Amino acid sequence: MIKHKIFSIFSILSLLSCTVFLTTSSYAQSGYRICGVLPYNRGDRLLQKGLAVKVSADNGGNTCQKKIDFMTKYFSNAYPGEQGKGNLKMITCEDFSQHMGKPNDMCYSMEVNKIYKYQAKFNNQSTLNFWHN
């Protein structure tokens, strides 16, 4: 009887730990990538601000390049006095979220093909705000 209860308890704990593991490791939104433009110089290590867009991973980067061209052209409208010098092409949502200093997937808070202005502050105060269609 005691062996049966101990076995049941371990079975339940194993099931719970698998459930926790699966829910924490599968938070990423699949099928999407982030493209962006930033005031980046090759020597900079921190990409602290810029424009970003969530695009479908299946389009082969076509939408990504069109959005990068638009964001580069109008970067100074979002950040007066600055130019978009660097870009992010088809990076994963997880990588972008880490760049933002966020533990969760930022793609869930973005709409597809909408351009967002971001500020990465690395202290859980990072911002991501809609900027342009």
Q: Say which range, 63-72, 81-90, 108-117, 119-128, has the weakest mean pLDDT.
A: 119-128
Read off the DSSP letter of residue 39.
-
Domain regions of the chain by residue span: 32-132
Tens of pLDDT, residue by residue over 77-94, are 999 999 998 899 999 999
pLDDT level of residue 22 (50, 70, 90 thresholds): very low
User: Which pTM was predicted?
Assistant: 0.73
Q: What's the chain's average pLDDT?
A: 77
Q: Does residue 35 sit in helix, strand or coil?
A: strand
Q: Does the structure show a pLDDT above 60 at 13?
A: no
pLDDT level of residue 45 (50, 70, 90 thresholds): low
Q: Does the structure show a pLDDT above 80 at 116?
A: yes
Q: Does the structure show a pLDDT above 60 at 39?
A: yes
Q: What share of the chain is helix, strand, coil (3-state, %, to 5)?
A: 40, 25, 35
Nearest CA to 41 among 77, 76, 78, 82? 82
Percent of the chain with pLDDT over 70: 69
In whole angstroms, give the CA distance from residue 57 to residue 29: 11
Phi, psi of 52 (to 5 degrees): -140, 150
* DSSP assignments along 10-26, one per residue: HHHHHHHHHHHHHHHH-
